[in-house]
Amino acid sequence: RKEVEQDPGPFNVPEGATVAFNCTYSNSASQSFFWYRQDCRKEPKLLMSVYSSGNEDGRFTAQLNRASQYISLLIRDSKLSDSATYLCVVTVNNAGNMLTFGGGTRLMVKP
């Protein structure tokens, strides 16, 4: 079983749509949670951190359910520029604090 699992998609949605991505992680010792965005052939960029209380940044809302080991990202009012791969990322509080990435979910927003 992969440490971080995501539906690879692609999710094809029209502009203005609301789209939700889900992610599950296997290590119950995971401490920190993030969503990153990666454009084609570019580096990953931090979209937002995810907190147990849930958090919102403009059109983006992230939720964490520790009991179910489940993370979600909701994008409202999709824009063409939201087209990218969204990476679910967790860390375990060990000496390395390395990021463990899911395989990514590809989003394509169409006019």
Partner 1 sequence: NAGVMQNPRHLVRRRGQEARLRCSPMKGHSHVYWYRQLPEEGLKFMVYLQKENIIDESGMPKERFSAEFPKEGPSILRIQQVVRGDSAAYFCASSVQRGLEQFFGPGTRLTVL
Q: Which residues bind partner 1 (CB under 8 A)?
A: 4, 32, 41-46, 87, 91, 93-104
- The minimum distance between CB 31 and partner 1, in angstroms, equals 9
Please identify, using beta-carbon distances, which residue of 16 and 42 lies nearer to partner 1.
Answer: 42
Please identify, using beta-carbon distances, which residue of 19 and 47 lies nearer to partner 1.
Answer: 47
Please identify, using beta-carbon distances, which residue of 32 and 69 lies nearer to partner 1.
Answer: 32
Are the CB atoms for 25 and 10 separated by under 8 Å? no
| DSSP string across 50-80 | E-TT-EEETTEEEEEETTTTEEEEEE-S--G
- The minimum distance between CB 68 and partner 1, in angstroms, equals 21
CA distances from 84 to 37, 42, 77, 108 (A): 7, 10, 15, 7
- The minimum distance between CB 15 and partner 1, in angstroms, equals 27
